[in-house]
Amino acid sequence: MTEQTTTGALATATDGVLTWRCTVCGSTIDAGAGGFILKHGDVERARAAARARHIEDARIDALPPAERIEARIYTPGAAVNAVRSRMYYRAPWKLLHFGCASDDDVIYDVEVQRARTAAELLDWTAHFDEKGWLSLTSWAETVLRHAHRALGTDA
């Protein structure tokens, strides 16, 4: 099944307890039926992008000051912009029913019943941060943003 973007929020909350929706079929995910999926290949792609960004930053930092400023503010053509955008790739967390997901290459899955409250999400965020790859993923954009909206705690 191909992933599609559903309209509306991926999470709703009742009395501080989150209910999550599948990004493929749009249905509510019951306990034991799905979760947040992160694929190993996506994390490796994000690591490669971070390495490329580091190399490019080092190249620019080695330039004489006047050229360094120009290199940082210069807006190159579309082809170069496409390369630069790949340098900022983040491994996507996908919210799926297990039946809607392909099970190949999964590095992590968090079942929804283990991520239903703000405290549980905070625990997962701290756990993933210890792994060293959280900043390479879309956890904040995908999971925390929807949880904040549902809980009414977004800024």
pLDDT tens series, the chain, 155 aa: 333 333 457 889 999 999 999 989 999 999 999 999 999 999 999 999 888 888 877 888 888 887 877 776 665 555 455 555 566 788 999 999 988 887 677 888 899 999 999 999 999 999 999 988 899 999 988 888 888 888 888 65
Query: Can you give the pTM of this predicted structure?
Result: 0.74
Domain residue ranges in the chain: 11-151
Residue-wise over 118-127: b if at least 16 C-beta within 10 A, else e? bebbeebeee
What are the φ/ψ torsions at residue 132 (nearest 5 degrees)?
90, 0
What are the φ/ψ torsions at residue 112 (nearest 5 degrees)?
-60, -30
CB 39 within 8 A of CB 107: yes
State both tokens at 73: 């503010």
